[in-house]
Amino acid sequence: MGSPEAPSTLRSWMSAVGEIARAVNAAEPLDGVLARVAEQACALIGFEYCAVMLAEPGEEHLRVAGSWGLSRDYVALVSDTGSLLIHPAGPNLDSPAAEAYRAGRTVAVSDVGNAVRYGRLRHLAPKQGYRALIAAPLHAPAAGTLGVVVAYSVAAREFGAPEVELVELLADQAALACEAARLRNDQQNVITELSRTNAELQRSRAVTDWAERQHRALMRLVLDEVGLAGLVAALADTLGASVTVEDRHSRVLARAPATGYRAPPDEAARRRRPVRAALDTLARHNEVVEVRFDRSGRPGASAVGHPVGRAHGVWVAPVVVGGELAARLWVTNPRAAPAPVERRVIERFALVVALEVLKHQHLVDVEERLSGDLIGDLLHPGGPQHPQGVLDRAAALGHDLDRPHVVAVLALDPPGPTPRLTEVVRAAARQAMPPLVGPHEDLHVLLFPDGPGLDDVLRGVLAQVELALPERTATIAIGPVADGLADHGSAYRVARGAVRLRRTARPGGLVDVRDLGLAAFLLEEGAPDTLRRFARNLLRPVVAHDGQRGGDLLPTLRVWLAAGCSTSATARALVVHPNTVGYRIASIEKLTGRSLRRSDTRLDLQLALTVRDIVRVDGR
């Protein structure tokens, strides 16, 4: 066979991904969806055959779960329990698919005739007649590696970076399909588990009728996919209580009812020992915990069924995802203390809420990855290599990059991984247009559509990041407005220069460098230590004079430069006599040894003041 066809266009690729997504959302059988993935690999990238293989329980071998182009005999041969062993006894039994699964990385073989380290290929390749293959692992955020996608070519070939990336993206789509199937299975398990509650509710007719109604209502909610807000509203109505779902960082994800809502214990109450003990219990036991307050308002806590003092009416249930506490479900001020059957309903709701949280986390993970890739392409040196592709991908994520955007950067000290940072930023900015957020270099880039009130929004973002990450110091630099795609790179470098300059002195806080003029070029190109030294040396005598004599030379210099070097305008702004301004300007000239009548002197002083503002230089 000749050289492979070029990778498909973005339109073809997005159409294929959309087709797979529709199949997943329509709950098509998993083997059919995986066969679609294999078909798209052949159609879009230019392979003759493709297979999606999943690990069997126990992770002993791989089996073909969906394929395209492969013969039935070959599929049966590969799926044999002794064929593709994940942990073979030696290289004579090893395969690229097994290595890709074990190592969690893509493995490519350009010519099976030269692949001496994979003994199984000598037996398998002639059966189907292929010469090259590439295997990419299926990574699922909540479940780890699920299997591999293996694409085959009848001719020997080298695999370029674009082909590898497309195969890996198809592997992500296959993993998403598997995760969706698992979620549906979990939902069915929840429904099955809910059905068992009927046997527990046969003791009295009234309890049975009530439980049956709640059972049917929850099943309808699950099947109708009402989302987290719908589940919380339904539980609040059922119990006649206020219901709150918050994540593990105590950020509210949903609450009900809209009127008469009662919040769970505040942060001050949660720091007290009894309530803290109740919350610690959630991390160890999958049970509803009751938080109690005595008449004096002091909180106490016990597992439900062990009364302590006089109940205030607060219950909390764990929302567990992947064996870890992902959220809390609070029930506050119900009509009456929940009976055992009502507590079971709370637990069932917590299970369904866990599914919603898991789906949300998966969507966030996918969007974070796509946003990070998009920002990397947008800030590519020299501008985006494929501008229309960047615009199309941004539009798919809900962002119109044809509009002017403010480029801001967020730095965290000490640096390190920051899971769920995008959720924190978007929650803080929820009243404004959601920003495009993603990591780049050692920073996080925040792209906001230009508009009024952005300063307040970014101050709120900074406060929320500091609250969510109390052990880290957050610094945000607001860079220039990017009017077009090509402007984002330079705007980012200016903001990056400002935040790095701040971090060399005293990190933290908000830095605004939107309107710097020529100073922006220095931030974009200059070294932080050089800029600090320049500002310190030039302003040191003026700063020392003000510190020793309580003078107003620096404030006067700022106003004078801002007023276009007008003595009279400066005098009016400072409410002093023009002679006073003239005396202070002469003092600055004497201290610095430079004439302020020279334009280069005025420019140097303006730049030094800008650097001082950014790093808060103290003149020492």
For the stretch 52-61, pLDDT in tens is 988 888 888 8
Note the maximum CA span of the chain.
99
CATH 3.30.70.360 fits 400-525, yes or no: no
How far is Cα 328 from Cα 281, in angstroms, rounded to an integer?
A: 12
pLDDT at 113: 86
* Total number of residues shown for the chain: 620
Q: How many CB atoms lie within 10 A of CB 373?
A: 14
Two structure tokens written together for 453 = 């009130």
Can you name the residues that pair with 108 across neighbouring β-strands? 134
| pLDDT cut 90: percent of the chain above it | 5
Interatomic CA distance for residues 25 and 152, integer angstroms: 28
Q: What is the pLDDT of residue 532?
A: 67
Residues 249 and 254: their CA atoms lie apart, in Å, by: 14
Which region among 51-65, 271-285, 329-343, 562-576 has the lowest average model confidence (pLDDT)? 271-285
Question: What's the confidence (pLDDT) of residue 396?
Answer: 77
Tens of pLDDT along 149-179?
Answer: 999 999 999 988 888 888 888 888 888 878 7
High-pLDDT (> 70) share of the chain, %: 74
pLDDT at 117 over 60: yes
Let me know if domain 10-177 sits in CATH 3.30.450.40. yes
Topology of domain 201-362, CATH: Beta-Lactamase (3.30.450)
Strand duo 252-256 + 107-109: pairing? unpaired
- Domain 529-615 superfamily per CATH: PucR C-terminal helix-turn-helix domain (1.10.10.2840)
Amino acid identity of residue 504, one-letter, is T
For residue 135, the model assigns a pLDDT of 92
- The answer to whether the predicted template modeling score (pTM) of the entire model surpasses 0.85 is no
pLDDT at 312: 46
Query: Is 80 exceeded by the pLDDT of residue 272?
Result: no
pLDDT score of 531 more than 70: no
Count the neighbouring beta carbons within 10 Å of the beta carbon of residue 358.
20
Q: pLDDT tens across 204-242, in order?
A: 455 556 556 666 666 666 666 677 788 888 888 877 888
Same fold, 10-177 and 201-362: yes
Residue 239 contacts by C-beta under 8 Å, 6 or more apart in sequence? 331, 334, 335, 338, 342, 345, 346
In Å, what is the CA distance from 233 to each residue of 151, 223, 225, 433? Answer: 47, 16, 13, 26
Q: Where are the domains of the chain?
A: 10-177, 201-362, 400-525, 529-615
Closest to 494 in 3D by CA, of 509, 473, 515? 515
First to last CA, the chain: 73
